[in-house]
Amino acid sequence: MLEFIKGTLHIGNVSATDLAKRFGTPLYIYDAEIIRRQIERVKRAFSALPFRPFYAMKANGALSVLDLMRGAGFGCDTVSPGEIFIARKAGFTPDNIWFTCSNVSDDDLRAIGDERIVINVNSMSEIDRILALDLRNPIALRVNTDIGAGHHADVVTAGGGVKFGIDLAEIESARMIAEDSGRKVVGLHAHIGSGIDDIGPLIESVRRLLDLSTDFPNLRWLNFGGGISVPYEPGKAEFPIDDYGAELTRIADRLLRARDLTAILEPGRYLVAESGTLLAQVTSRRISRGQWWIGVDTGFNHLVRPSKYGAYHHIVNATSGSPASLRQTFDLGAMAEDVVVAGNLCESGDVFTRDEHGKTLTRRIDRTKIGDLLAFCDAGAYGFSMASLYNARLLPPEVMVDGDDVRLIRERQTYEDLVKGMR
Ligand code: LLP
């Protein structure tokens, strides 16, 4: 949990200034207690169903995060051979891994490497190639249920104009191609988008998958995807996960039990977003045309969501801030100044306070001076995992805090790492 003790931000029981002294900035910090809290929320909400939770590791693929998920009995949803490799390193057994294809190559398919890993195919052509390569893995079909949702157009993954899923009109042919070759379609899957605030579209997509399931005699699983959001902004309500669980149970439980099927969900963001903080140091204060700009020692190379989607990440002064600055207890009237917060990359779009059209916004925060630490909150999902090497700035280290305990879980890159493998 984030809290202020004597003006300093604490993560778990550890002060942000101590963490910065010990590990430097920029720095990703994850709070294990929050990950465990979210794990329990998922388990509880769907406990009435025959249910198996998976974790979409694209949200955060740190081994220590995966370890928490595996320890809690989650399976792992992967989307590349690299993710499969990391999942195996983290101890997931092949029968606990799904591989969801997206325009995969033959090399990708061969690299899956173990025939117990479920291949969740995204198109008819992938089925053809799996057959041509004579892969024996269980096959699931990713269905475009025509219901899409998400916090930004770029993360809506069903409906028209998206690259994902086999259309409902094609699904019968897909089943026939697979089954005519002696394969069983053991799963149906729909993931409709990411950052979804209300259960309406999720439930509608579930209904379509349930309807479709009656045409598939060999199913073992129905995978309803991820997509559950978290409240990034002050005043925003928590996602009603218990309602989602209750409604899913109401519409699906009977059918699942009658056919001995297991429901799968594969959330990413919901499990890890709120656990993560990106800690950066203020390197400059600049006034331009009457507007204060705060510069920090990180950029969209480490947290791309504001630049890419105009996504909101709450920002607090971690060195000398107040409880009123925290998202959960935010009091706009108690904040001192309106500032733009910008990163250290050589690009004008490197701004943390933007809307989805790229327009620069201001944010009201506690007064901030050079050397203060700024915390970018709720950065545990699609933060480090989307980081890049732009401008040859080093990838930051990652730290896991658990109560009083602090563990370095990924080292800061070195300058030598930047040229490793280059000729
Ligand atoms: N399953 C599949 C097949 C997915 O493609 C995804 C996310 C998930 C599960 C997990 O979705 P979640 O529960 O995290 O919403 N970079 C974007 C999000 C992209 C999500 C891509 N797929 C962002 O930062 O908002």
In contact, 155 and 194? CB cutoff 8 Å: yes
Instruction: Give per-residue pLDDT as tens, 84-112.
Output: 999 999 999 999 999 999 999 999 999 99
Number of domains making up the chain: 2
Evaluate whether residue 319 is within a structural domain. yes
Average pLDDT over every residue of 60-86: 98
Query: Are both 262 and 389 inside the same structural domain?
Result: no
Element (H, E) at 203: helix 199-213
Reported confidence tier of residue 258, pLDDT bands at 50, 70, 90: very high
Instruction: Give per-residue pLDDT as tens, 49-59.
Output: 999 999 999 99
Instruction: Give per-residue pLDDT as tens, 207-246.
Output: 999 999 999 999 999 999 999 999 999 999 999 999 999 9
Looking at residue 144, its pLDDT comes to 97
Query: Are both 72 and 134 inside the same structural domain?
Result: yes
Average pLDDT over every residue of 337-346: 98
Evaluate whether residue 423 is within a structural domain. no
Reported confidence tier of residue 19, pLDDT bands at 50, 70, 90: very high
Looking at residue 58, its pLDDT comes to 98
In contact, 282 and 294? CB cutoff 8 Å: yes
Q: Is 100 in the pocket of ligand 1 (CB under 6 A)?
A: yes
Last residue of a domain, one of 245, 272, 299: 272
Last residue of a domain, one of 216, 237, 272: 272
**Amino acid symbol at 161:** G
Evaluate whether residue 102 is within a structural domain. yes
Looking at residue 162, its pLDDT comes to 94
- Tell the residue number behind the tokens 């994850």, with chain if given: 30
Pick from 227, 59, 78, 244: which is nearest to 148 by CA? 227
Query: Are both 57 and 206 inside the same structural domain?
Result: yes
Query: Are both 300 and 264 inside the same structural domain?
Result: no
Last residue of a domain, one of 234, 253, 272: 272
Mean pLDDT of the chain: 97
pTM above 0.95, yes or no: yes
Which value, in Å, is the radius of gyration of the alpha carbons in the chain? Answer: 22
Query: Are both 156 and 283 inside the same structural domain?
Result: no
Query: Are both 16 and 53 inside the same structural domain?
Result: no
Q: How far is the CA of 225 from the centre of ligand 1 (A)?
A: 9
**What is the CB neighbour count within 10 angstroms for residue 108?**
19
Query: Are both 314 and 412 inside the same structural domain?
Result: yes
Query: Are both 52 and 24 inside the same structural domain?
Result: no
Q: Is 150 in the pocket of ligand 1 (CB under 6 A)?
A: no
Give the range of the structural domain holding residue 166, as residue numbers without chain letter.
Answer: 32-272
Reported confidence tier of residue 419, pLDDT bands at 50, 70, 90: very high
Q: Residue 344 is part of a domain; what is its CATH number?
A: 2.40.37.10
Query: Are both 57 and 197 inside the same structural domain?
Result: yes
Ligand 1 atom having least distance to the Cα of 381: 24
Q: Is 305 in the pocket of ligand 1 (CB under 6 A)?
A: yes
Instruction: Give per-residue pLDDT as tens, 192-218.
Output: 999 999 999 999 999 999 999 999 999
Q: Supply the residues annotated as catalytic.
A: 346
Looking at residue 20, its pLDDT comes to 98
Reported confidence tier of residue 332, pLDDT bands at 50, 70, 90: very high
Ligand 1 atom having least distance to the Cα of 152: 25
Q: Residue 110 is part of a domain; what is its CATH number?
A: 3.20.20.10
Looking at residue 314, its pLDDT comes to 98
Query: Are both 131 and 201 inside the same structural domain?
Result: yes
Element (H, E) at 408: strand 405-410
Ligand 1 atom having least distance to the Cα of 386: 16
Query: Are both 25 and 62 inside the same structural domain?
Result: no
Query: Are both 187 and 301 inside the same structural domain?
Result: no
- Tell the residue number behind the tokens 């999942």, with chain if given: 87
**Which one of 39, 41, 58, 265 would you pick to mutate in the ligand 1 pocket, going by the greatest count of ligand atoms within 8 A of its CB?**
58
Average pLDDT over every residue of 406-423: 98
